[in-house]
Amino acid sequence: MIVVLKNDVTQEQIDHLLDKTAKLGLKPHISKGVKRTVIGFIGPEDVLRVTPLEVFPGVEQVIPVLAPYKLVSREFKNDSSVVQINEKISFGGKKIPIIAGPCSVESKDGIRSIAQKVKESGATILRGGAFKPRTSPYEFQGLGEEGLKYLSAAGKEFGLATITEVMDSRDIGLICKYVDILQIGARNMQNFSLLKEVGKIEKPVVLKRGMSATIKEWLMSAEYILSNGNFNVILCERGIRTYETATRNTLDINAVAVVKQLSHLPIMVDPSHATGKWNLVESASKASVAAGCDGLMLEVHDNPENAFSDGPQSLLPETFSAVMAMLKNIAAAVSREI
Amino acid sequence: MIVVLKNDVTQEQIDHLLDKTAKLGLKPHISKGVKRTVIGFIGPEDVLRVTPLEVFPGVEQVIPVLAPYKLVSREFKNDSSVVQINEKISFGGKKIPIIAGPCSVESKDGIRSIAQKVKESGATILRGGAFKPRTSPYEFQGLGEEGLKYLSAAGKEFGLATITEVMDSRDIGLICKYVDILQIGARNMQNFSLLKEVGKIEKPVVLKRGMSATIKEWLMSAEYILSNGNFNVILCERGIRTYETATRNTLDINAVAVVKQLSHLPIMVDPSHATGKWNLVESASKASVAAGCDGLMLEVHDNPENAFSDGPQSLLPETFSAVMAMLKNIAAAVSREI
Amino acid sequence: MIVVLKNDVTQEQIDHLLDKTAKLGLKPHISKGVKRTVIGFIGPEDVLRVTPLEVFPGVEQVIPVLAPYKLVSREFKNDSSVVQINEKISFGGKKIPIIAGPCSVESKDGIRSIAQKVKESGATILRGGAFKPRTSPYEFQGLGEEGLKYLSAAGKEFGLATITEVMDSRDIGLICKYVDILQIGARNMQNFSLLKEVGKIEKPVVLKRGMSATIKEWLMSAEYILSNGNFNVILCERGIRTYETATRNTLDINAVAVVKQLSHLPIMVDPSHATGKWNLVESASKASVAAGCDGLMLEVHDNPENAFSDGPQSLLPETFSAVMAMLKNIAAAVSREI
Amino acid sequence: MIVVLKNDVTQEQIDHLLDKTAKLGLKPHISKGVKRTVIGFIGPEDVLRVTPLEVFPGVEQVIPVLAPYKLVSREFKNDSSVVQINEKISFGGKKIPIIAGPCSVESKDGIRSIAQKVKESGATILRGGAFKPRTSPYEFQGLGEEGLKYLSAAGKEFGLATITEVMDSRDIGLICKYVDILQIGARNMQNFSLLKEVGKIEKPVVLKRGMSATIKEWLMSAEYILSNGNFNVILCERGIRTYETATRNTLDINAVAVVKQLSHLPIMVDPSHATGKWNLVESASKASVAAGCDGLMLEVHDNPENAFSDGPQSLLPETFSAVMAMLKNIAAAVSREI
């Protein structure tokens, strides 16, 4: 923690600051420059972080030196984590799993039909929402447990693992009965109650980045899950909100490499939400694999004209199949496999 | 709903589109321009909204005409709503209530001491967090029910109404026992499970704008509450996330006037979060009252050096008192009262 | 300048860094913490700023301590500057000058008619563009010198000072012949060639904030003008670009107080561009005066239906007159005058 | 152009609108819905665009149907353009040219040494700034004509084409004497005077996207150049400004595919500025090639510790060489060549 003092700071103010910090067990290193005096404090970082040094008289600026996350950091664990879904599928290894399926589970036959098709093209995990976070209260809110049953049945029939979004702590138990991976959506990235609860289970959790979350905040949300005991976390970049309106979101492709530097957790990308338009998904998917992502989540629907949600960003099964073929080439070019 | 067709659309594609929309009960109005054909669809708007016309072949762009919110809109209710807190306090009338208090309830004596001081300066509602949404799992998470008890006691002793944040549906009942107003924080603005639940109670709800929520999304979140039966909603602008780092958030002062045009709901401002620095709060508070806001929420702490959270943006009681004096002048200049 | 070293930095890397910095005349203060070593460098700040310490092996992060601007800062000049336009008008004093007029000078009679009306309502400076920065090459580009003549004549006839935008270094001499104040538009805030040139004249310059410029960058652009010799600079907040689409720009009202803290230069606001809609201008203008601005610039047109540009954000003269009456009240409430 | 009327529009207001638009030669198509009346206007689009229909009484919203750009659009020219630099190098074909070199030309020997190394690794175009747009007036502003001479000489010696930035219309002639490609920097993307001037020459122009420009605005700036006669324009995505501070800019990788859909112009990427950190450049470069870009511009410096500018984002020659090897694999995977 570095404290920059104002140019007109008084000795009394400095003494007051040093007096308080001494009581907290912090050791100061003072550098007096021509224009500013700077104090570096050394000591237990958590004590430092919660002490509001900014409000002490004479203080101009407080600059933290250490990142606020611990368990998710590369310093805590230098080797990249591999999150195992089942004996065949994992995130963070050489193989890049592809999650595919509709935005919402709409019917038993619907999810079954899509499951069959995405399996044929090489997907290994089936997605489908049963509880939907919709901006409008008047839009389709999901089939609930019925949807979970259909998703689970389709996954089992075609040998696909399954993933669905959890929006409410009260649904965690129910969802765990049916699916393999829980997803925390962008809108709930800082729903700390929910994060704590999924930290108490063992199932893998995909944590989507909030619509306007910094990478640091995103890692702090992951820290909530790990610090409650669940280390099976996969981060998912899904586009951030910017001023650009040509696309639904702006895919922050830099985030893949930044997360790899800061954290040992695997990172995947959701090109469907990150673009919002099916005809941009191919380009974004290729970029993601080339950038080094550990997984992809793609919305696929065999009848987008009748989709209950996210039709415009869903691939047709035949397009998905073509995209998969190209992704295999890119994966090979970066020494990975799909 | 207006549909713009591609310049190379075929008659077959147009027929396919018209065939489908006819089945939905929609009436088309076709305008053929030199470069584009445009179809205006008339009919039940909810049907229109959930039909993904963007994915039909030959469609270039779909443009909604009507706003997606209903109950919160000025079209639904032209007169401005007045949300009554008790027989003396209301939001949306001539009088502008000031909410003041610490970020967190830290102790029985602490909240009592602050309550006394803000009351003396003219605040009518006491704030204080018992359940805190902290970015880091290692930071103070609030006193829980103990905090609610202290807040309630301090409010009663000094004749102040009380407000606290609710983060989890499971806490609603508990919180309603102790406080007068529930606050939904920025991070939970799209926690739709929580919105539905506070829609089922009768107590007033302050709905903070999400960190990067558009005004439209914010109104849609309010719509969740109203459509579940609770019309006692007060919107609260608390700054949005932008690229500017000189302040914690960017106060979107335009939002006050925009919300007044679009909605009948009262709108207040939180200058403490909207700036993040106590020495910017005065200017932002004056601007908010001049812009036409219906309430203010200000963080006040009598010992910011020892505050558990948000010390840097908290006013000292004596500064709060000076700010209140100036706000009274501004309020008078715009024919309001504080 | 503070340098944070990596946790695995070697002694050799530290020696290499200290060796290089010693040659630059910098004096190090080393603090060894448990997790990180931090070095504070003291010495000539310009040398520090241009030395890319980030690229030295073992360096994790470089944190500047001093602001990069000098002449514009409160440290350089503690008293607020007053920029004198003529014997009657100045920015930065008790009186708040109001600039009003059309976006573009469209005709001799047009600008004369508007000048008369804004003068009657209390404006003291007339605006009007002769060289227009239009997003599209197919839109009206301004009347050029003809426009300058009309503007100048209207100003003289009604006793108004005049302001117009300069877009090209080659036009500076011409513009100086006709008008009292030069405006650098948002799109040219970092047109450094142009900034240097207006730094060489003596006429006052209004420097608009770039569409997505930080306050620091804006002050650095002002520094370009001052460092070339022209201290008559007035900063103008005109809204920044954010994700919100309900308004043309987001008025960063916080910027008024932030600039006042960092710089001695006067700061004005342009509520017309900051909102983009005439019916939001009143609220934004009141907020700006209450927040402490030193001037306002408002677009006024007596026939917006036929305006060549910016019709939607222009006030009618009668609305302008009503707004002026209200602004006088707000000004009085904050001990200023209009 | 579609006009949505207010729900309380009067017949008189509609008549007034139709009367005015009839005089402009516009043909209306009226659709009366239950809640809103909508009018689609057909006619000469430029007339429509400059008529401020938003200000007519009774009008709620005006929605343009056609894009404002013409010459840059795929509708104007369906085939992708290939911009020829010389007999060997072109942008927009199968081969992806790599531009490499230092941020600034710092000395004769310096640029020569880097030129030799980037040539060996496969670059075909040499970059180097002679006129530098620096945020601070106290930083290195470039060597001017001296720098152009060194750049040109190094390019000729090693058979590399050359590119440099132009910041001022007055320098165009000089720069054209020495280099093959002119670059318009992000800060000047809307310096319309400069755009018009480079539209009058024949040399290829790289137009960088403004720091917070939408894709539409960027294409409009390109339209300025094409409409003045110069069709040799290459667009360059260089990262946009967002709230994320972990990187210098956010690479908008989606822009590559969006531009390809909207325009026939080639699009390249500058991963150095788009990330701001040398150790993120590899990932961003791979992503760009996989996404379908037509060129890359990379900052390379053989002694970043002594670089006059942009040291932190410059690759060492040996890193550049390793990155090039990997990019060749990615290019092959997407049927391109480097």
How many alpha carbons fall within 13 Å on the CB side of residue D142?
Answer: 23
Judged by a CB distance cut-off of 8 A, whether residue C245 touches chain A is: yes
Interacting residues of C212 by C-beta distance below 8 A, sequence separation 6+? A243, B243, C240, C241, D211, D212, D241
Question: Nearest residue of B to residue A133 by CA position?
Answer: B192
A325 touches chain D (CB under 8 A): no
Structure tokens at A225: 């899950």
Integer Cα distance of B268 and B265 in angstroms: 10
The H or E element that residue B283 is part of is helix B278-291
Chains contacting chain A through 3 or more C-beta pairs under 8 A: B, C, D
pLDDT in tens, C77-107: 999 999 999 999 999 999 999 999 999 999 9
Stretches in chain D below the pLDDT threshold 50: none
Return the structure tokens found at C225.
Answer: 């003008």
* Closest residue on chain A to C211 (Cα): A243
Residue in the block written with tokens 């919180």: B175
Domain extents in chain D: 2-63, 83-333
pLDDT digits (tens, 9 = 90+) for A262-284: 999 999 999 999 999 999 999 99
Contact: A216, D246; criterion CB under 8 Å: yes
Interface residue C200 vs chain D (CB under 8 A): no
Contact B280 C287 (CB under 8 A): no
Chain B residues with CB under 8 Å of C280 CB are 254, 257-258
Q: What is the mean pLDDT of residues A135-154?
A: 92
Nearest CA in chain D to A217: D244
Label residue A84 exposed, middle or buried (CB < 10 Å: 0-12, 13-18, 19+): middle
Contact C311 D135 (CB under 8 A): no
Rounded Cα gap, residues A326 and A193, in angstroms: 41
Tokens describing residue D215: 């894709």
CB pairs under 8 A between A and D: 135
Q: Any chain B CB within 8 A of the CB of D177? A: no
Residue B257 and residue A186: Cα distance in Å, rounded?
Answer: 29
Contact (CB<8Å) A250/D250:
yes
Task: Determine contact: D334 vs chain B, CB below 8 A.
Answer: no
Q: What is the DSSP letter of B104?
A: B
For residue B278, the distance in angstroms to the closest alpha carbon of chain C comes to: 11
Same fold across A2-63 and A83-333? no
* Residue C151, pLDDT score: 98
D211 touches chain A (CB under 8 A): no
pLDDT average, residue stretch A138-154: 93
Q: What angle do CA A210, A211, A216 make, to 5 degrees?
A: 50
Residue B5 identity: L
**Are the C-beta atoms of D3 and D43 separated by less than 8 Å?**
no
Element (H or E) spanning C49, and its range? helix C45-50
Q: Which residues pair with B31 in a beta bridge?
A: B38
Q: What is the reported pLDDT for A144?
A: 94
Q: Which of D130, C2, C48 is nearest to A3 (CA)?
A: C2
Is the pLDDT confidence value at A163 over 80? yes
- Residue D66: its pLDDT value, please? 80
CA A322 from centroid of its chain's CA atoms: 27
D144: left (phi over 0), alpha (psi -120 to 50) or beta: left
> By the CB < 8 Å criterion, does B200 face chain A?
no
Retrieve residue D257's tokens: 């595919």
Indicate the helix (H) or strand (E) that contains C182: strand C181-184
CA distance A4 to chain C (A): 7
Which SS3 state, helix, strand or coil, does residue C130 take?
coil
Strands D233-237 and B267-269: unpaired
D192 min Cα distance to partner chain C (Å): 6
Say yes or no: D56 contacts chain C, CB-CB below 8 A.
yes
DSSP D242: -
Tokens linked to D147: 């720098």
Per-residue pLDDT reduced to its tens digit, C152-193:
999 999 999 999 999 999 999 999 999 999 999 999 999 999
- How far away is chain B from the Cα of D165, in angstroms, using its nearest Cα? 26
What was the pLDDT predicted at C137?
85
Residue A19 burial by CB count (10 A; 0-12/13-18/19+): exposed, middle or buried? exposed
Q: Are B251 and C291 contacting, i.e. CB atoms less than 8 angstroms apart?
A: no
Q: What is the largest CA-CA distance in chain C?
A: 76
**Site from A254, A258, A289 to mutate, D interface, most D CB atoms within 10 angstroms:** A254
Tokens representing B110 are 């602490």
Smallest Cα–Cα separation from D225: which of C137, C185, C134, C188?
A: C137
Q: Which fold has domain C2-63?
A: Alpha-Beta Plaits (3.30.70)
Mutate to test the interface with D, among B36, B65, B70, B241 (most CBs of D within 10 A): B65
How many whole angstroms separate alpha carbon C104 and alpha carbon D262?
32
Q: Are A296 and A288 in contact (CB under 8 A)?
A: yes
How far from each other are the two terminal CA atoms of chain C, in whole angstroms?
Answer: 44
- Please judge whether B49 and A133 are an interchain contact, meaning their C-beta atoms are less than 8 angstroms apart: no
Rounded Cα gap, residues D91 and D308, in angstroms: 30
C-alpha distances in Å from residue C172, one per residue of B147, C131, C200, C223, D189? 65, 11, 10, 19, 21
> Would you say the C-alpha torsion A128, A132, A133, A134 has a positive or negative sign?
positive
In this predicted model, what pLDDT tens digit does every residue of C291-306 receive, in sequence order?
A: 999 999 999 999 888 8
Q: What is the pLDDT of residues A93-141, one digit of tens each?
A: 999 999 999 999 999 999 999 999 999 999 999 999 999 888 888 888 8
- Quick check: A262 and A272 in contact, CB under 8 A? no
Residue type, B60: E
Of D138, D196, D307, the CB nearest to C46: D138
DSSP state of C58: T
Domain range B83-333, CATH architecture: Alpha-Beta Barrel (3.20)
The answer to whether D156 contacts chain B (CB < 8 Å) is no
Q: What is the value of pTM for the model shown?
A: 0.94
Mean pLDDT by 10 residues, chain C (338 residues): 88 92 86 83 73 86 85 94 97 98 95 98 97 84 94 98 95 97 96 95 98 97 96 98 96 98 98 96 98 98 85 92 98 97
Taking residue D159's Cβ as centre, other Cβ atoms within 10 Å add up to: 11
The Cα–Cα gap between C315 and C326 comes to: 15
CA D247, distance to chain mean position in Å, is 20
Cα D19 to Cα D16: distance, rounded to the nearest angstrom: 5
Residue A65's pLDDT is what? 79
Q: Given an 8 Å threshold on Cβ–Cβ distance, is D214 in contact with A245?
A: yes
The reported pLDDT for the residue numbered A97 is 98
The minimal CB distance from C243 to the residues B212, B256, B330 is found for: B212
- Angstrom CA distances, B60 to A273, A313, D215, stand at 19, 14, 17
* Pairing state between β B2-5 and A267-269: unpaired
Minimal Cβ distance to A242: which of D242, D279, D332:
D242
CB–CB contact D250 A252 (8 Å): yes
Query: Considering only CA atoms, which of D29, D37, D51 is closest in space to residue D9?
Result: D37
Picking from C314, C294, C232, the residue whose alpha carbon sits closest to that of residue C93 is C294
Angle between helices B145-158 and B108-121 (to 10 degrees): 40
Instruction: For residues A326 and A282, give the distance between their C-alpha atoms in angstroms, rounded to a whole number.
Output: 9
Residue B166 near residue B198 (C-beta atoms within 8 A): yes
The band of A33, judged by pLDDT with boundaries at 50, 70 and 90, is: confident
Q: Does B254 touch chain C (CB under 8 A)?
A: yes
Global ipTM: 0.94
Give chain D positions within 8 Å (CB) of B6.
Answer: none
Confidence of residue A88 (pLDDT cuts 50, 70, 90): very high
Could you tell me which chain A residue has the CA closest to the CA of C38?
A40
Q: How many helices (H) and strands (E) does chain A have?
A: 11, 14
How far apart (Å, rounded) are the C-alpha atoms in residues C30 and B270? 42
Whether the CB of D74 is below 8 Å from some CB of chain A: the reply is no
Q: Does A54 touch chain B (CB under 8 A)?
A: yes
| Start-to-end Cα distance in chain A | 44
Where do the H-state alpha helices sit in D94-161? 108-121, 145-158
**Predicted confidence (pLDDT) at residue A156 exceeds the cutoff of 90:** yes
* Residue among B50, B140, B187 whose CB faces A50 most closely: B140
Distance CA A305, CA A124 (A): 25
Sign of the alpha-carbon dihedral angle for A184, A188, A189, A191: negative
Task: Write out chain B residues lying below 8 Å of D245, CB-based.
Answer: 245
Q: How many CB atoms lie within 10 A of CB D64?
A: 11
- Give, in order, the Cα–Cα distances in Å from D44 to each of B150, B181, D3, D196: 69, 56, 16, 25
The reply to whether C76 touches chain D by the CB within 8 Å rule is: no
Contact in structure between A131 and A168 (CB atoms under 8 Å): yes
pLDDT in tens, chain B (338 residues): 788 899 889 999 999 999 988 888 888 888 887 788 888 887 776 777 777 888 888 998 888 878 889 999 999 999 999 999 999 999 999 999 999 999 999 999 999 999 999 999 999 999 999 998 888 888 888 999 999 999 999 999 999 999 999 999 999 999 999 999 999 999 999 999 999 999 999 999 999 999 999 999 999 999 999 999 999 999 999 999 999 999 999 999 999 999 999 999 999 999 999 999 999 999 999 999 999 999 999 999 998 888 888 888 999 999 999 999 999 999 999 999 99
User: To which H or E segment does residue A236 belong?
Assistant: strand A233-237
- Please give the structure tokens belonging to residue D115: 């030129």
**Beta bridge partner(s), residue A161:** A125
pLDDT at residue A51 greater than cutoff 80: no
Among B49, B51, B54, the residue to mutate for chain A (most A Cβ within 10 A): B54
